[in-house]
Structure 1
């Protein structure tokens, strides 16, 4: 027995502290009940204004150019002039080679610069390349980095290599925020989502994020529920507050309200700040503005 314990990695030992034997059907039922009970009462203008302030306004297109990202950033700069009664988005999220364009042109207060990195969206490249790309994105002005776990390593049980990568990239980020994308649509089960959440947090994630938006299914309420439960259990055990970011497939105001409801019910009011809750989206900004203003708004 002692030999078996000695052979376990610190990550396998960490996983044993949590219940990762989950039933997908059970999670589905719990999510449906939570939404039915809480969605209507959270459908308020105050909540929608808060959700807008949690948006990582995202442009991750093959067609992105210096000109298009300048225009994108300029809209964020003008937001305060046009909507002075609202707080701005939380961050602008771009490819790493566009971080400097945002950094050089962003004038809005309290808006962060996020860059995807580490071989986004597949995470299939050398760790040396991931480290270099991350370091360069930070050097160019990014203060938040979004990376994807090496899903293949996770699914094949190579937790140590997966976690070592995350830890190296967190070391590269230093005091900058590291968001770790699980790509939940590729993880096959609620149990795997729970395990990947726990491992990512133990390896140094400041946030855990559902998806890249490049693979379907992207964010789902069920994945969000499991991830938020993992964050809560991790906090109860360690005292460390980890942020949560659903991303991909957030196509309506109702979708955003669903994620808000899950965070509020599982993690509580303490997590209802844009330092611990983000929404990765581009289309949601105009949808929320239109809903809040009571007329169609096409600002972004």
Structure 2
């Protein structure tokens, strides 16, 4: 008897699992997820050739600076170094009163409290990477606890990485359940979901991962952790912005976009700006919906804005 009971139970569970899988396949079916990588590359090249030059202005550079998530994610970070990092953002207000500050300071969760205690600049958020960043390979219980602790310590925004292994093996339910659970922990705090596009292999996968992440509650989708190669690419950005646009058309919900990792020059930043502007339009050109994850870029943009080499940060 006992044995039969187990069989029927696993059979039922199998059905539930199938239903959940169907739910995600149904969600994906509303979008074009069969993309050709060469096509994407050609479109991106065309966008940049046609439109980048017109965006190379002081106003755009000031805006891009205002979209930076100023990031320090090093194993050498200490309370002292993070405090100094934060104090620079405070000092920026006095040194450059006519410029808008960075959008956020992004740190590991154990550093949220020190940023929270040190930060005096207005309208600068505290972002934390969480959920077993950068590999996302840990227990969901640990991801939940880490995220809750980060928020409790002062984080306004949480950046997590999808379970890339689950996604690549077709376990969309497993991947999406985690995002939903972590979004529930965040409540009204923004959840940025990192796809780690360099590990996804092709444009079709990037499109699918974008849609599934938004469907599961992502407030932002982000290209990369910066800990894997390749990191952000214009091609990944193009596909993600197309996904955001299509998702908005279907649901009416605006999801933000954040390229991160490997944004090393002002030209790189202008490329991402151009893609967002051309695909998503002016409505997305606000730091509520567009961020750049970088540490190097802040000084480079500032140097171009003020017209001389500046190593402020």
Find the partner of 1:87 among 91, 97, 100: 100
Q: C-alpha separation between the residues in 2 aligned to 1:37 and 1:84?
A: 34
Alignment of 1:154-173 (within 5 A): 154-173=167-186
Tell me the TM-score normalised to structure 2 length.
0.94
Q: C-alpha separation between the residues in 1 aligned to 2:255 and 2:220?
A: 5
Report the Cα offset of residue 263 of structure 1: 0.1
Which has the larger Rg? 2
Contact 1:59 1:282 in 2 (8 A): yes
Alignment of 1:1-300 (within 5 A): 8-300=21-313
Q: Secondary structure at the match of 1:147?
A: strand
Report the Cα offset of residue 9 of structure 1: 2.5
User: Residues 50 and 190 from structure 1, CA distance in 2 versus in 1: closer, same or farther, beyond 3 angstroms?
Assistant: same
Compute the RMSD of aligned alpha carbons: 1.0
Contact 1:9 1:160 in 2 (8 A): no
Tell me the TM-score normalised to structure 1 length.
0.98
- Unaligned 5+ segments in structure 2 are 1-14
Segments of 4+ in structure 1 off by > 6 A? none
Report the Cα offset of residue 7 of structure 1: 7.4
Q: Deviations over 1:41-70 (max 9, x none)?
A: 000000000000000000000000000000
Q: C-alpha separation between the residues in 2 aligned to 1:8 and 1:154?
A: 12
Contact 1:55 1:278 in 2 (8 A): yes
Q: C-alpha separation between the residues in 1 aligned to 2:221 and 2:63?
A: 20
Q: C-alpha separation between the residues in 1 aligned to 2:19 and 2:106?
A: 42
Q: Secondary structure at the match of 2:293?
A: strand
Q: C-alpha separation between the residues in 2 aligned to 1:218 and 1:8?
A: 29
- Unaligned 5+ segments in structure 1 are none
